[in-house]
Amino acid sequence: MLYSPVVEAAPEDRPAPRMSGPALMVIFGASGDLAQRKLLPALYNLVQKKLLPDDFTILGYSRTPYTDEEFRALARGGVEKYSDAEFREADWQRFAQGIFYLTGNYDDAEGFARLKARIEELDQSRRTGRNRLFYLATPPSVYEPVATQLGRADLVHPVDNSPTGPGDDHSWTRLVVEKPFGHDLASAHALNEHLLSIFDEDQIYRIDHYLGKETVQNILVFRFANGIFEPIWNRNYVDHVQITVSENIGVEQRGGYYDKSGALRDMVQNHMLQLVSLVGMEPPVAFDAKAVRDQKVNLLRSIRPLAPEEVSHYVVRAQYSPGDLDGERLPAYRDEEGVEPDSTTETFVAWKLEIDNWRWNGVPFYLRTGKAMPQKVSEIAIYFRRAPHLLFDSADDPEHISRNVLVIRIQPDEGISMKISAKQPGPAVKLQPVNMAFQYGSSFGATPPDAYQRLLLDVVLGDGTLFTRRDEVEVAWERVTRVLDGWKRQEEEARSGGAPLRLPTYDAGTWGPDAAEQMLRVENQRWRKP
Ligand code: NDP
Ligand code: BG6
């Protein structure tokens, strides 16, 4: 065991729960999938656990007409279906009496005047403390108009001195922005400029739901609360790092969105680069928003920028072709609904990423992500160097196992394991890999809560540590836009050669194209089988 199972603390030893004060949350796009599937179930769980107060107030806002009662019925459906907590009628009633709805457009002064009037009414009747949280759960095309209208309607307090707030009444205003935050560096920069013309950076919470996952937060605890790992967490001991985020589904009903995005924008720019930054960053001086994000930005800035002509050497992309996945036949990506028949959007990316700093120079970070792969897995594998001198000959070690691999499993089967070599019982010296393992389920007796619970609570508490800062988003986009530029160049070259580009393919239900295997084979490595 790396950690022994947790011992239940006596009540007086337990830390005080992070209970928030009163607030009003306006969900723009409240009729949509995110609100029903993630936000409302997470808020219900927080109220049920008494981490949000009973008078926490939710005001849904979107164009679809609902009365308060109709919207509550919709929300109830979402909570019953998607909440990971037990549905209890009494808790629901307590939660539902704080849910309201207003129909309106996103770019319309009249709608926002009505919104303002409704908010002020709820400020009084629900004693919100005038604390306001605006959540952009709409498609990104609506982010800018909503922010503009909020500013024009005078719904944004000028400064936010969280956690107590500014001014005489100590109230605060915060804005949560969903992904995708831009589609390249220029658009992310423009969106930042726009939002920052209305809100202060401290008021903006850019969501990356991977940062709300318990196992992702545990990367920092694992690295910085255990003295034994930091001394070996560098180029002297680590051979390379593999990060896999695979999904065993195709694009399903999201073909229209996905075809304009692709795996690089959808997964690498945000979730995977966040994982890279947490694994690779230097120790922060404190566990607070500024110190942690400063170090993450430093790490992202150390990622070697690629010139367009280098991209094909470092980055592999591919699309899935027909194949069997969990007993079902998946069509080719190009035949999915909403996808262009001649699409060059990638459903798989592998990237050999080099980090130019003292800690990681010469230690490649291999990233791979894709749809239609055999398993849904997110994990980070740290491959340590072999022992400098092996006492046992290769016949004793047929699988070359004499290398330690630390695996941080983000999902499913959340936990951490370390592969070590052991002697098989018996008269001969024969090596066999064994695992030392810690699993959330068995050690803590529960599966980790959904990421949105943690993130929503942090926003209400004014803690930005698990949200991406302006410079972080832009440096991640800067490195990713270079890859996009390289791909654009490949497409232009193919077109000028008279043959439009076709991406390499991999059969649905496999671990990706041959080129990704080759990327590691030339280095005498291979991808870990999760
Ligand atoms: P939806 O497509 O369900 O849109 C949400 C709501 O926005 C809709 O109900 C609709 O409400 C309104 N809307 C939809 N299209 C438009 C449009 N073109 N112009 C104006 N309004 C529109 O999106 P999701 O709920 O799935 O996602 C919301 C945001 O969250 C997106 O940015 C998405 O990328 C992000 N996200 C979603 C996740 C999920 O699991 N769904 C996961 C991670 C991020 P109405 O017509 O009533 O106004
Ligand atoms: C989202 C992507 O951000 O993350 C989806 O848009 C992807 O395409 C999802 O399916 C994966 O999240 P998780 O938490 O299921 O790993």
Q: Which atom of ligand 1 is nearest to the CA of 62?
A: 48
> What was the pLDDT predicted at 444?
86
Decide: helix, strand or coil at residue 323: strand
49: closest CA among 73, 11, 83?
83
Q: Ligand 1, residues 138, 142, 177, 247: which to mutate, most atoms within 8 A of Cβ?
A: 138
Q: Would you say 208 and 274 are in contact if contact means Cβ atoms under 8 Å apart? A: yes
Q: What counts of helices (H) and strands (E) characterise the chain?
A: 17, 17
Q: How does pLDDT run across 72-105, given as a tens digit for each residue?
A: 999 999 999 999 888 999 999 999 999 999 999 9
Bridge partners for 438 per DSSP: 416
Integer Cα distance of 290 and 317 in angstroms: 35
Q: Whose CA is nearest to atom 6 of ligand 2?
A: 266
Mean pLDDT of 380-387: 93
Report how far apart, in Å, the C-alpha atoms of 14 and of each of 148, 457, 470 are.
44, 19, 35
> What was the pLDDT predicted at 426?
87
Q: How does pLDDT run across 476-527, given as a tens digit for each residue?
A: 999 999 999 999 999 999 988 888 889 999 999 999 999 999 999 998 899 9
Q: How confident is the model at residue 237 (pLDDT cuts 50, 70, 90)?
A: very high
Rounded distance from Cα 355 to ligand 2 centre (Å): 25
User: Is residue 166 over pLDDT 60?
Assistant: no
DSSP 8-state code for residue 181: -
Q: Ligand 2, residues 34, 183, 209: which to mutate, most atoms within 8 A of Cβ?
A: 209
Report the mean per-residue pLDDT for the chain.
91
User: Is residue 200 over pLDDT 90?
Assistant: yes
Q: Whose CA is nearest to atom 4 of ligand 2?
A: 267
Q: How does pLDDT run across 422-476, given as a tens digit for each residue?
A: 888 888 888 888 889 988 888 888 778 889 999 999 999 999 999 999 999 999 9
240 is catalytic: no
Mean pLDDT of 192-200: 97
